[in-house]
Structure 1
Amino acid sequence: MSPSIESTIGFSRRFLNLIVGNRIPGVKSLCCFDLTDQQLFYPEIPPQSQGSGLTQRKKQMAFSALMMESIGIPRSSFNFRASARNDQWKIDCFPLAEREVICADQSGRAFLFDAKTHQAQTMPSLHKPKSLPFTVFVPNANADNDYDHNGYGSTLFVMERIPKPEVGCRAQYSLRLPQAHRGKGVGTYCLDTASHTWSEVGKWTLPFHGRVEYVPELKLWFGLSGEARHLAAADLSSMDSEPQLVGPWKEHCLPEEWKECKDSQLVNLGSGRFCITRFFHTRIHNCDFGDESIAVFTGVEVVPHVRDFNGDANKGGNGKVELQMTPHKSKCHTYNGSTIDAVF
């Protein structure tokens, strides 16, 4: 029997999914990288990454970044088109679990598409149209498979990036915002997904920027750090005080003329492996066409290491367990006229 895809490449995800926009208003495409073809990981931890000094490590990171292999965006698996309304076309795509995505246009029409089965189904209107929405997906697979409906199923919450009251929106479709979100202070809040109510946790903010995700293998939450936007982790099991970051870790050193142009995105691939996607504007040397837009996909791996009292790693004994991040491969895509809106 041939080995499974999970044991072959070391993680539970086979596909990396992209929501791609183009020059046609109101049209987006779902494109899927097969991770067995676009290999972002070496078969094992690169030998040069083990025991490297800081200076040598930076040289290796910079060299690997400059030697990146170019890749193209795969053909679209499905195209999403908004319905016309007052000569305006706008569609938002919200990733769910695995390879499912919900799409909603400016008129409120919504449908669910499963890239695995290539099936689409219509849905009730999700929410009143929003200008800059973001989503939080709360999975509950056990309840989803409970056909007697004895519990709450998976839930998708949709909010504005700049929250504001929704005039005329029925209460069951709109979350009551905490005071800080209505312009009265800064803090961290928890949302009860059953009662749809907020509670204040503290007067501090989480040390992350954007989405964070729990990794059960390492018992930590992972995301991009709030300041440098580097991969980092934190223990959020207790929220009695401000969480402290583990890391952060920088995956590569890029040329100074490469300027990040929008927020990076992090995808958990399972088994301590992640894909970090960063977006740049850069001027290519000896090129007459000016600036280029580049997306860089990097595979990284986080593993625990035991450090003994003398500072040596993997010596066993009664040493302290620390996490080590190892960058694997980086691949870049140069795009012209298209945009990568989401990676999941």
Structure 2
Amino acid sequence: MNFMAFGLNRDNLLAVDQIGRTFLYNHDSRLLRTGMPKMCRPIIDPISIAVGDSLYVMSRNPGRRPDQHCFQALIRSRPPASASNTKDWCWYSLQPPPLFADGVEVESSGCDVLMPFKISAYTVVGDSQIWISTFAAGTYLYDTASDAWSKVGNWALPFRGRAEYIPEHNLWLGFTPNDLQLCAADLTTSCELWPPMLQNEWTDVNRPEDWRLRDASIVLLGSGKVCIARFFLTRPEESIEDMSGHALLERENFAVLEGVKVLKAGVGRLRMVKHKSERYVFGRDLAILL
């Protein structure tokens, strides 16, 4: 299952199962709605982007020739076949990103050869633009108001995964592509020829050597406050054997949640004030050593 937060205050949480059925939970009313419309087609490994009170869902790897259902939107509107003026949630298939239409040639240098059109970074710019980056095709934007794609540049966003806009500082906060360090950039300074540059980067040094960072995410709390979630997997030093004599490594999956306040530290500079952090253990799993 996948869980996706959206709405003007991120008060809606959508759960999607493996066949595209959806369930909506509203945080304010604490009500769960099970009679939600089904997706046009299930999307494998999706990313979700909230724009206004609507939710946009796209395949993380749309491929060189995206199919017609790889990009969908959950929008509250009047169903096309209904005579009623009552608005309700509906899924719509949208125009896929024009990665192949632009005649992109994949080279072995500077991009992921195995999945060159996998979305490496994405974010929301302004009130209606969704920006996505791939290593092979560069950065595109989809305008939700005009339902149209356009090319931003041949460069990729300097983030990995989702980047969040912090209105208090007019900057986008995300993680560096290689080592998932917290960073910030101003996307408004970019143009077709010049990519946005990182203005701030904070190195996480308080980490045991056997902790392997797998992923990271940001949740905005407002007023410059941010919750950072980092997901780790331990590197076990010893192994055990099963009844067949195969070596097993016992690993621990856990997340570290950290509260952070982002403050100004001069022109174009920020400083990060760390607050309380908590460790949440998901459990242990065994990996077979062949």
Same fold (TM over 0.5): yes
1:208 aligns with 2:159: yes
The 5-angstrom pairing of residues 125-144 of structure 1 reads 125-139=38-52
**Aligned match of 1:177:** 97
Greater than 4 Å deviation, 4+ residue runs:
167-172, 180-183, 283-289
CA distance in structure 2 between the partners assigned to 1:296 and 1:170 by the alignment: 32
1:276 aligns with 2:177: no
Q: 1:299–1:328: 8 Å Cα contact kept in structure 2?
A: yes
Q: 1:188–1:205: 8 Å Cα contact kept in structure 2?
A: yes
CA distance in structure 2 between the partners assigned to 1:182 and 1:213 by the alignment: 28
1:244 aligns with 2:197: yes
The 5-angstrom pairing of residues 247-258 of structure 1 reads 247-258=200-211
**Aligned match of 2:179:** 228
CA distance in structure 1 between the partners assigned to 2:69 and 2:169 by the alignment: 44
CA distance in structure 2 between the partners assigned to 1:294 and 1:183 by the alignment: 42
**Aligned match of 1:96:** 6
CA distance in structure 1 between the partners assigned to 2:277 and 2:143 by the alignment: 39
Which structure has the larger Rg over C-alpha atoms? Answer: 1
The number of residue pairs the alignment matches comes to 220
**Aligned match of 1:123:** 36
CA distance in structure 1 between the partners assigned to 2:24 and 2:101 by the alignment: 30
Going by fraction, where is helix more abundant, 1 or 2? Answer: 1
CA distance in structure 2 between the partners assigned to 1:229 and 1:183 by the alignment: 31
1:161 aligns with 2:60: yes
> In structure 1, which of residues 168, 192, 195 is the aligned counterpart of residue 143 of structure 2?
192
CA distance in structure 2 between the partners assigned to 1:290 and 1:107 by the alignment: 32
Q: 1:133–1:158: 8 Å Cα contact kept in structure 2?
A: yes
RMSD of the TM alignment (CA)?
3.0
- SS at 1:237 equivalent: helix
> In structure 1, which of residues 288, 301, 305 is the aligned counterpart of residue 261 of structure 2?
301
Structure 2: gaps (5+ residues): 73-91, 105-135, 241-248, 286-290
CA deviations on 1:68-126 (whole Å, 9 max, x unpaired) are xxxxxxxxxxxxxxxxxxxxxxx332211333111222333223211332212332223
Q: TM-score, normalised by structure 2?
A: 0.67
The 5-angstrom pairing of residues 29-68 of structure 1 reads none
**Aligned match of 2:84:** none
Say if 1:251 and 1:118 are closer, same or farther in 2 by CA, change over 3 A.
Answer: same
Instruction: Give the CA deviation at 1:247.
Output: 1.4
Structure 1: gaps (5+ residues): 1-90, 140-153, 307-319, 339-344
CA distance in structure 2 between the partners assigned to 1:167 and 1:186 by the alignment: 19
Percent identical residues = 36
